[in-house]
Structure 1
Amino acid sequence: MVANRSQKENTRERIISSAKKLFAEQGYQKTTVVDISKQAGLSEAALYEYFQGKEDLLLTIPDLWVSELLKDLDEQLFGIKGAFGKLRKYLWWYMRRVEQSPLDAKIVYLFLKTNANFLNTQVYSNVRKLYSYLLDIFEEGRTSGEMRGDLNPRFARDIFVGTMDHIITRWLLKDMSYSLFENLEDIFELMTDAFKAHNSEMLNNLHNEAVGVGSENGGDREALA
């Protein structure tokens, strides 16, 4: 029974790997179930024992990748101080994972996001969870005074995600002919400048914190010296 289960898992993984390769190389529309079954060394009927068709495969492949990203993100952000530090880590980590898994990224960004059923998938649910971390980071930045007090975390997240999507999609369409990290620092600075608190706002926040500390010390200003 164990051997049989292991064999089925190996076959399933072989089908997924074959579909991923063909989708990335010749596109989703041009790939047929027959192509995938031949690539996997199976009959077409055998493939249907594991998947309902190529759309089922299209929705399964990125789910595995995005689930792995979701599991890894907590550990990556652990111990990072400050909202901007976390944003930088998030961006660099995400771009690194995309460069490490270009086939998965290509399927997500070029094929899956244009599929009418994408919004009803577990992948979409996990992507939303992945981006919800950004909402927490922007809220932290606004609360701490690092970022503008009138910052809307949802708008900020949309700007951040939209910029990432543009960078990655352009890279994929240009056949990954350069590194995603080219000019990334400049892009990050340009993007996050819009989120930063104005100097006067930061001074006010620091002043309020200082006053709070002074109050906790019985109003003794010498305690702040």
Structure 2
Amino acid sequence: MDASEKKFRILEAAEQVVSEKGLSDATISEIAGAAGLADSVIYQFFKGKQDLVFSLPISHEEEFFTSLNEHLKGIWDTESRLMKILWFYLRYSDTHPQYSKILYFDCFSSVNFYRSAGYASIRRYARILLECLEQGVREGKFSREVDTVLVRDMILGMMGCEIVQSIASKTIDATAADVEDMMSLILSILRPRPETEENKVDKILDAAEKVFADKGVYRSRVLDIAKLAGVSEGTVYEYFGNKEDLLLSLPDRHFRRYQEGLPEIFEIRSPVLKLQRFIKYYFSLFFEKQDFLKVFLVQIQLTRRFYETEQFNFFVQFFDILQSIVEEGMADGSFRPDVNPMVFRNMFIGTFNNLTLRWFIVHGDRHEDKMRKIEEVAELLCSAVTNTQAQPAMTGSTEYVLDGKGGTV
């Protein structure tokens, strides 16, 4: 038996044993026994049990990407290509349940995995997904206003939630069957929206806020604002007589919207505003308890036993309110009638998981404007379900966002 065959048998045995027992309970001796080899042979190829398990994504890499490329051949339409990329990932998980169980419950649940060569293999798929999104933007099929990296993370998180549910709670039989409902949400986020006069004014004012904040009013030029807003300098003057008018329009816009939103602070009637409030409330709960967040993300939510406990039932019940908001919006026409509430819930949970995992674990809480990102997430999640024919998209929230410590202001 040559070295490559020995290594293959070790990896195959590890997948079998660890998928059944988990990384913490499986032993090197059990893996060696399943491979028909001595324990010492494993150490010729791997530093230890964790190194062996973290190498499993690499062992699947050639099969995964060769097959993915075959499936993508001849698909040039960006939306069709995006759907195939999602479908293939889900289908691979459905047809490789042992590997998927290890990937989500034994790899993603360890901080060390994010520094391994196995994680680099996972990131290769993420790059393919991002390239497809960016291609759609270049072709004009997807909005230039959307943060493609954020949307990619939302997609990966949503698929991850679907896979975990399929493996652990058995509430989903085949994740690939939900791909059309996923695409419906994703395309509602990505597709360009018709530009209205109000949207154009908002773009100019948003750009003005950024330029004035960075340079100060007197050092700023209208041309700089126009470039950032993606309009001509003449368009800025069409709406605002001069730079001072533009400056004074900033508080006017915000305080008008704050005032318009006052009646709904204590009694929210709009399903869209209810959804925005729920999203920000959920983020605020964990931001106030960041130690619990770190424990919950990887040590609780990505452990097999959690899905067999009463605590998991509490977690699911917490999201019943989200489902009721979506159903209310579908009933009154605020949300599209074809929204799958369960898939949307997975998009929300997956987005939260991926974003906070990146903020606090993978990148070690590096500086990032988290308040602005949460606003963006709330807007994207609302746009995923909003019925644009029934009402205009929300432009500027009347909600109050997180302060620097995670509270509301």
TM-score category of the 2 structures, normalised to the smaller one: 0.7 to 0.9
Q: Which residue of 2 aligns with 1:37?
A: 32
The residue type paired with residue 131 of structure 2 is: D
1:25 and 2:20 aligned: yes
Residue 183 of structure 1 deviates from its aligned partner by 3.2
CA distance in structure 1 between the aligned counterparts of 2:95 and 2:60, rounded to whole angstroms: 11
Residue 89 of structure 1 deviates from its aligned partner by 0.8
Residue 76 of structure 1 deviates from its aligned partner by 2.6
Q: Which residue of 2 aligns with 1:83?
A: 78
Cα 1:106/1:176, change in 2 over 3 Å:
farther
1:58 and 2:56 aligned: no
Of 170, 179, 182 in structure 1, the residue corresponding to residue 174 of structure 2 is: 179
**Structure 2 length as normaliser, TM-score?**
0.45
Q: Which residue of 2 aligns with 1:157?
A: 152
Q: Percent of counterpart pairs with the same letter?
A: 26
Residue 65 of structure 1 deviates from its aligned partner by 0.9
Q: Which residue of 1 aligns with 2:8?
A: 13
Q: Which residue of 1 aligns with 2:96?
A: 101
Of 185, 188, 211 in structure 2, the residue corresponding to residue 190 of structure 1 is: 185
Unaligned ranges ≥5, structure 1? 1-5, 202-225
Q: Which residue of 2 aligns with 1:48?
A: 43
CA distance in structure 2 between the aligned counterparts of 1:21 and 1:109, rounded to whole angstroms: 15
CA distance in structure 2 between the aligned counterparts of 1:41 and 1:176, rounded to whole angstroms: 36
Larger CA deviation: 67-76 vs 126-135: 67-76
CA contact (8 A) 1:82 1:141 kept: no
Q: Which residue of 2 aligns with 1:205?
A: none
Unaligned ranges ≥5, structure 2? 197-409
Larger CA deviation: 132-141 vs 179-188: 179-188
1:68 and 2:87 aligned: no
Residue aligned with 1:118, SS: helix
Residue 176 of structure 1 deviates from its aligned partner by 8.3
Q: Which residue of 2 aligns with 1:146?
A: 141
**Structure 1 length as normaliser, TM-score?**
0.78
* C-alpha RMSD of the superposition: 2.2
Residue 199 of structure 1 deviates from its aligned partner by 4.4
Residue 129 of structure 1 deviates from its aligned partner by 1.9
Larger CA deviation: 149-158 vs 41-50: 41-50
Larger CA deviation: 67-76 vs 8-17: 67-76
Counting matched residue pairs gives 196
CA distance in structure 1 between the aligned counterparts of 2:172 and 2:184, rounded to whole angstroms: 24
Cα 1:173/1:139, change in 2 over 3 Å:
same
CA distance in structure 2 between the aligned counterparts of 1:30 and 1:69, rounded to whole angstroms: 28
Residue aligned with 1:134, SS: helix
CA contact (8 A) 1:67 1:126 kept: no
The residue type paired with residue 85 of structure 2 is: Y
